[in-house]
Amino acid sequence: GVTGLEGDEEVGVSLRVDEGVVDLCTDDEAQAVGEDVNSANDFEDAELGGKGHRGRAEGLVDLMLQRQRLLGLLEGKRVEDGGDGFHECSEEGAGVCAWRMRSPSLWDGEVGGVMCWTRSQSSRVKKVSLRCKYACEEGVIAGLKTMISLREKHQVGSNPNRWSNHPPTHPPTHPYLKDHFLLHPTHRHTLTSQLQKPKDSFNDLRPSRVASPNPTPKKVTIYRKQTESESEEQKQEAEEKMGLGLLASKAIRPTSRLLLGSQNPTTFLLRTIVSKPELQNPEASAAQPEQPPAPDLPPRTPLAGARVHFSNPEDAIEVFVDGYPVKIPKGMTVLQACEVAGVDIPRFCYHSRLSIAGNCRMCLVEVEKSPKPVASCAMPALPGMKIKTDTPVAKKAREGVMEFLLMNHPLDCPICDQGGECDLQDQSMAFGSDRGRFTEVKRSVVDKNLGPLVKTVMTRCIQCTRCVRFATEVAGVQDLGMLGRGSGEEIGTYVEKLLTSELSGNVIDICPVGALTSKPFAFKARNWELKGTETIDVTDAVGSNIRIDSRGPEVMRIVPRLNEDINEEWISDKTRFCYDGLKRQRLNDPMIRGSDGRFKPVNWRDALAVVAEVAHQVKPEEIVGIAGKLSDAESMIALKDFINRMGSNDVWGEGIGVNTNADFRSGYIMNTSIAGLEKADAFLLVGSQPRVEAAMVNARIRKTVRANQAKVGYIGPATDFNYDHQHLGTGPQTLLEIAEGRHPFFKTLSNAKNPVIIVGAGVFERKDQDAIFAAVETIAQKANVVRPDWNGLNVLLLHAAQAAALDLGLVPQSEKSLESAKFVYLMGADDVNLDKIPDDAFVVYQGHHGDKSVYRANVVLPAAAFSEKEGTYENTDGFSQQTLPAVPTVGDSRDDWKIIRALSEVAGVRLPYDTIGAVRARISTVAPNLVKMDEREPATLPSSLRPTFSEKVDTTPFGTVVENFYMTDAITRASKIMAQCSAMLLKK
């Protein structure tokens, strides 16, 4: 019995589960058939109070309304059971809304009063819905009346005093009443043990009071038949222990009467739900058996490239990936959480350094409480989220996506350059089906001409838009876009033009299929035929990490290598495509210029003897040595020691001007570091054009401008930037205005939290470099550019050898040194002003390419290129890195330091080292930071960058240091690919 009915009778119910019958006892006035429930009429009588006295619809409404007050007023929360979602609200009188239900159940409508009756294909029931509203008591009654009318309509008979008066040979006709029911998640208790008890065990149930968290509903008490011998203490104890058992019986009544009213056997699933301790009384909660502790799961290793940075440890959240708990920062996506957990999720459109597109849908995973698989690349991870990556649903979804992607993809694998390293190949084998069902004609797309570097076969494109996002976000060019729609969409240029970007070759790496490949590498080799060597790039001062792929003695291609501190995973086009210059214009043998002006090959002994003889014939002060742009630290220390032992101090590095202050490293390196630029919010570029001088540094600046809305001020000649900037002026006069606080941009620097000043290396060759650096120092002091926790004063070098040369002290002593020289030793120095060398001077050229300086040389000594030797380089950031030999040397060439070591012995001034280890030991005595590989030693800032200067700044504007981005050294000038780029892209 339920309070509100006439009297306090026990409402009896019988339920047949599999082979057993479970029934609750009734009192004398509501006697039901207890063991053999075969009569629907008897069963209806029992449930409604016995003998039909309360079989009217009004009584049923009253009964259901009391149930609603008892069960529907719950704490607001979202729960899910059996695959169906429910939403519960806490307002007074509100019920349970059947939220996004794929298979609505009867109990949801009864308890909540909100009816989501979905129309069935096999039924003519009209859709009745009070969908997703807070139901008050009137809504409950209205919903129940509608339910009653529908029941009466779809069952035989029309007697309003009963549910139905038909015999059990007529089952209910509404489709879902026959097949399915779910226990409402409100009743979070275990029913299995109760259903397995014998019939008599239910006599142990005692009165129980069920309190609702909502204080407004009235108290409802459920009673049962009591024996005279029971005491009040026993009644209270039983009430506290077994109250939820009676509540469980109430929960299954509506469905039980319908199931037993059918003559056909009905199969249904009873889902066991474990109760929460907070829904039980303390004694019942304590009586539950203790669960064994969960076993410790083995730790998971994050995937390579997975980056986890907790800016605030309090923002960390915990998610579960295939049952493994993972701590991640807020804002991470589901896919990133899976990577941290060591689970590799397939993807095509997602890239960690690009914006999220969600195009391919290959990354589908299952998430608990989600009705369908979700795209993990676009779904933010939420606290407590349970992610399942290897379920049949996820596998089937990926298989379907792969079938769609392959529907129009051509069978070009045997002739595709991407074969063997194609994401589509790998993922179709791992996640695809063994056959396709598409039999129509495949579409085809016209290829695009993107220039001399990128080959296009657009029929292979899967529209992942990685190339479009890279060009727009990283490269900063709006050349690529998605055109058309539907089956006619394709990627191309908005107008017929070439891809004009210094980073365009990176679209080859990020393209997951063979739509964009390397044009110079086309049809040259398969990836399994190549040997990869991890080394660094020397075409600029950044020192990008690369991998040289070679086959035999030939370099076949260059691809980037991940380094978060330097180049991330991008490289410039000059770095990527200059490799063909390594086999053109090479010097194979030592040569001596004859009396007729022609070179003739000689052996090493004769060539070194001629050089040593001439070196001893001139005065020591007339000997000059110049190290070129591509020289490594070992060869430069050997050249310095050799020239010093010959009695001269005139040895310097190419691109370093007279009186350059090399005493403090903070005066010629990037103190902020390349990666540290991402923290800046204001930039002042002084005579520097980073897009052509150091493309990867420019990419970092652009990334910072997009992420932090950083302001950029530029002083120098007009140039093409790929981010917003203010052109403040062309000469040092503008710099003085900023230093004096008269220029508006000074306020921008002063208000910035982390301001950065970048001075171009071209300043080193100006006569007023001291005055320029003094003005820069003044700005740094006034604008708070240099602080204990931040050093925003940077110098952007041009060449790979500059930083190491300054560390080793290779600085010219006088402007007249070269003009008065009689013996000039050029070690790879091809951009020296040859007009300053006297006509009667003896010139020795040591290098690997027949470039400019060879035409002025008297003796040529062939040396190894960076891809053929082991050498140490320091980048503009202060990082020391090493090159490794990828291919053997060409002809009879030797390492640079070995040539100088042999020459010193022939000349009688033998250098004290015979191995590269000994050379590095010598370097450590001069510049210890050069031998600390892959380690950045921060520079200390002196009290003054230029302690003494008396000159004023020159009015001469800053000039362009790099005239042709694609031809900056001997290797790139020998490259046919770079010559094509220069002609087609720069029109030079």
* pLDDT class of 931 with cuts at 50, 70, 90: very high
Please count the CA atoms within 13 angstroms of the CA of 787 that sit on its side-chain side: 12
User: How do strand 324-329 and strand 651-653 relate by DSSP bridges?
Assistant: unpaired
Over residues 344-356, the pLDDT tens digits come to 999 999 999 999 9
Q: What count of residues does the chain have? A: 988
Q: What is the DSSP string of 577-613?
A: HGGGGGGSSB--S-EEE-TTS-EEE--HHHHHHHHHH
Summarize the confidence of residues 813-821 as an average pLDDT: 88
- Give pLDDT, residue 153: 52
- Nearest Cα neighbor of 188 from 121, 257, 244, 246 is 244
Evaluated on CA atoms 528, 532, 537, 539, the torsion sign reads negative
CA distance 610 to 730: 49
Q: Which residues lie below 8 Å from residue 158, measured CB to CB, with a gap of 6+?
A: 152
* pLDDT of 246 above 50: no
Q: What is the DSSP string of 617-677?
A: HS-GGGEEEEE-TT--HHHHHHHHHHHHHTT---EEETT--TT---S-GGGTSBSS-TGGG
* pLDDT class of 247 with cuts at 50, 70, 90: very low
- Give pLDDT, residue 933: 86
CB-CB contact of 633 with 790 (8 Å): no
Averaged pLDDT score across all residues of the chain: 77
- List the beta bridge partners of residue 116: 129
CB-CB contact of 243 with 189 (8 Å): no
CA distance 360 to 461: 12
- Nearest Cα neighbor of 938 from 760, 676, 701, 632 is 676
* pLDDT of 797 above 60: yes
- Give pLDDT, residue 952: 80
Among the residue ranges 807-816, 930-939, 944-953, the one predicted with the least confidence is 944-953
Cite the beta strand spans of 111-150 per DSSP E. none
* pLDDT of 220 above 50: no
Over residues 619-650, the pLDDT tens digits come to 999 999 999 999 999 999 999 999 999 999 99
* pLDDT class of 125 with cuts at 50, 70, 90: very low
* pLDDT class of 281 with cuts at 50, 70, 90: low
Q: Which 8-state DSSP code applies to residue 51?
A: T
Summarize the confidence of residues 112-134 as an average pLDDT: 33
Determine the number of helices (DSSP H) and then strands (DSSP E) in the chain: 27, 35
CA distance 68 to 135: 11
What single-letter amino acid sits at 657? G
Over residues 558-610, the pLDDT tens digits come to 999 999 999 999 999 999 999 999 999 999 999 999 999 999 999 999 999 99
* pLDDT of 655 above 70: yes
Among the residue ranges 203-212, 580-589, 910-919, 977-986, the one predicted with the least confidence is 203-212
Q: Which residues lie below 8 Å from residue 159, measured CB to CB, with a gap of 6+?
A: 165
Portion of the chain with pLDDT greater than 90, in percent = 58
> Which residue is it, tokens 């052509």?
692
- Give pLDDT, residue 531: 96
Cite the beta strand spans of 259-351 per DSSP E. 316-321, 324-329
Among the residue ranges 210-214, 263-267, 971-975, the one predicted with the least confidence is 210-214
CA distance 607 to 605: 6
Among the residue ranges 199-213, 314-328, 392-406, 831-845, the one predicted with the least confidence is 199-213
What single-letter amino acid sits at 976? K
- List the beta bridge partners of residue 213: none
- Give pLDDT, residue 205: 35
Over residues 49-98, the pLDDT tens digits come to 333 333 333 444 444 444 444 444 333 333 333 333 333 333 333 333 33
Six-digit token pair at 285?
Answer: 């909660």
Distances (CA, A) of 45 to 51, 165, 204, 246, 596: 5, 11, 24, 19, 127
Summarize the confidence of residues 428-435 as an average pLDDT: 92
CA distance 843 to 861: 11
CA distance 876 to 541: 5
CB-CB contact of 225 with 8 (8 Å): no
Q: Beta-carbon neighbour count of residue 339 at 10 Å?
A: 25
Portion of the chain with pLDDT greater than 70, in percent = 68
Burial class (CB in 10 A: 0-12, 13-18, 19+), 304: exposed
Over residues 361-388, the pLDDT tens digits come to 999 999 998 999 999 999 999 999 999 9
Q: What is the DSSP string of 728-750?
A: EESSHHHHHHHHTT-SHHHHHHH
Distances (CA, A) of 287 to 14, 277, 377, 928: 28, 11, 45, 71
Q: Please state the φ and ψ torsions of residue 490, each to the nearest 5 degrees.
A: -155, 160
Burial class (CB in 10 A: 0-12, 13-18, 19+), 511: buried
Summarize the confidence of residues 839-850 as an average pLDDT: 95
- Give pLDDT, residue 152: 52
- Give pLDDT, residue 135: 36
Among the residue ranges 125-129, 392-396, 737-741, 831-835, the one predicted with the least confidence is 125-129
Over residues 661-677, the pLDDT tens digits come to 778 888 899 999 999 99
- Give pLDDT, residue 165: 37
- Give pLDDT, residue 765: 83
What single-letter amino acid sits at 447? D
